[in-house]
A and B are shown apart, each in its own frame.
Chain A
Amino acid sequence: MNVNYLYSLLAVIVLGLIAYVGAGVAGFQGLFGIFIPYLAVVIFIAGFINRIMDWAKSPVPFRIPSTCGQQKSLDWIKQNKIDNPSSTFGVIVRMVFEIVLFRSLFRNSRAEIVGERIAYKWVVWLWLFAILFHYSFFAVVIRHLRLFLEPVPVFIKIFEQADGILQVGLPGLFLSGVTLLAAAFFLLLRRILIPKINYISLAADYFPLLLIIGIALTGIMMRYFTKVDVVKIKELTMGLATFHAGIPEGGISGLFYVHLFFVSVLVIYIPFSKLMHMGGVFLSPTRNLANNNRMKRHINPWNPDVKFHTYEEYEDDFREKMIEAGLPVEKE
């Protein structure tokens, strides 16, 4: 029994209650609407940069790409230029595929005992829902820019139209909201229901998923069900984006502050957690290095200066004694 998801669920519920009671009931709207979001942005950016610079300091003396194809060899042997790149261009193509299409996750396989033998099966579901999840999240973030930009740029309007292309109901249903929630639930259920994955899952795996589900649920609630005054919300968010922060007259409902607080917590959480793969994917040494160990000598720049004493120098030091003892020398 893995109780980590219960702890994570409890943590998310408590966070939601804190915001609901704090801003909605007790009325600390300034704290939850202005102070915490600003704090979150500062912690996110400073923490992110700090974490990346920490990684940048780590020595990577040798090329350690994971090779997934034929390496560069003799002219008549065809190299796999993407899966085993030997040039910077190949690495760039490989990285683009990795970051944009999750190529390595696409190769996800499952080991199973079939009869008496072990068999490896290609399993596409993790890749499918992961890519759905990430792009939905990306779309949701882009859509939210309408609350932070005035006037709203054309590309965001076009994006919204595409997202709401089904024209279901009013306010129009956004596809990305539905797919985000569905994919996040799939990823959560995967960790809960598959015994092997459940066994290796930690609270740090469940918490961000549950938090994101919380964000999506509160957002969907506000748009389609309980309703909030979006003009007031834009007043608040535009105040934040222009450094003229203020709580709009009459305040905003508690549910909005739950949503905002969840987002703030998520953003603060990113630099200290596995969510740093947002920046880390660019720095993964098994992907972003060219496999050119046999073409180029890589010297570790962190190597200390070693004082060499060559054989010639040794012989110079001891030549006479060596000749006396009858040992062969190279120079008489």
Chain B
Amino acid sequence: MNDKPKIVIGLIIFFAVFTFPFWYNHGTVSSAPEPKLSDKAKQARQCVRDTEFMRTEHMQLLDEWRDTVVRDSERIYEVNGKEYNASLSNTCMDCHSNKADFCDKCHDYASVEPYCWDCHKYPKEKM
């Protein structure tokens, strides 16, 4: 028995499958997204926490807020002596009112679909 032709076909399939990312992108360079800050956010200079923290942990902060607000009706988030209203729509989206240019930029790039908007409405964008 000599099954070399079949095996070679199998290997070609193997090669095609395992190099999928290389030929799917066919070498097109895609640059990392740059979320746009709205004017109000630029003026504020500082978010609730520092940029580095917000970049990696904002989802956990929001999750925490949701639990404290909904379960304990504790609406005030205190940090560095400042008090914030723990609210996605009223605090976050007050500055970051441009969902498409801010939130969605990275979320789309990293293929993240947050379920914030299942319940929350986002403000109408005025650009």
Q: How many residues of B contact A (CB 8 A)?
A: 39
C-beta contact mask, A36-79 vs B, less than 8 Å → 1, else 0? 00000000110011001101100011000000000000000000
Say if the beta carbon of B45 comes within 8 Å of chain A.
Answer: no
> Which single member of A55, A56, A244, A283 contacts B29 (CB below 8 Å)?
A244
Q: Which residues of A contact B114 (CB under 8 A)?
A: 170
Within 34-56 of B, Cβ neighbours of A (below 8 Å) are at 55-56
Contact (Cβ within 8 A) A238 B11: no
Nearest Cβ distance between residue B4 and chain A, in whole angstroms? 5
Q: A161-B113, A228-B56, A279-B14 are in contact. Are A235 and B32 (CB under 8 A)?
A: yes
> Which single member of B25, B56, B60, B106 contacts A150 (CB below 8 Å)?
B25
C-beta contact mask, B5-48 vs A, less than 8 Å → 1, else 0? 00110110011001111101101111011000000000000000
Q: How many residues of A contact B (CB 8 A)?
A: 46
Nearest Cβ distance between residue B31 and chain A, in whole angstroms? 8
C-beta contact mask, A226-269 vs B, less than 8 Å → 1, else 0? 01111110110010011110001000000000000000000000
Contact (Cβ within 8 A) B21 A241: yes
What are 6 pairs between A and B in contact, CB < 8 Å? A146-B111, A160-B111, A161-B113, A170-B59, A231-B33, A242-B25
Chain A contacts to B: CB under 8 angstroms: 44-45, 48-49, 52-53, 55-56, 60-61, 145-146, 148-153, 156-157, 160-161, 167, 169-171, 227-232, 234-235, 238, 241-244, 248, 279, 282-283, 289, 298, 301
* Known contacts A53-B11, A169-B60, A232-B32, then 15 further A-B pairs from the complex at CB < 8 Å, ordered by chain A residue: A44-B18, A45-B15, A48-B14, A49-B15, A52-B14, A56-B8, A61-B1, A149-B21, A150-B30, A160-B111, A228-B56, A231-B33, A238-B30, A283-B7, A301-B2
Chain B contacts to A: CB under 8 angstroms: 1-4, 7-8, 10-11, 14-15, 18-22, 24-25, 27-30, 32-33, 55-57, 59-60, 62-63, 106, 108-115
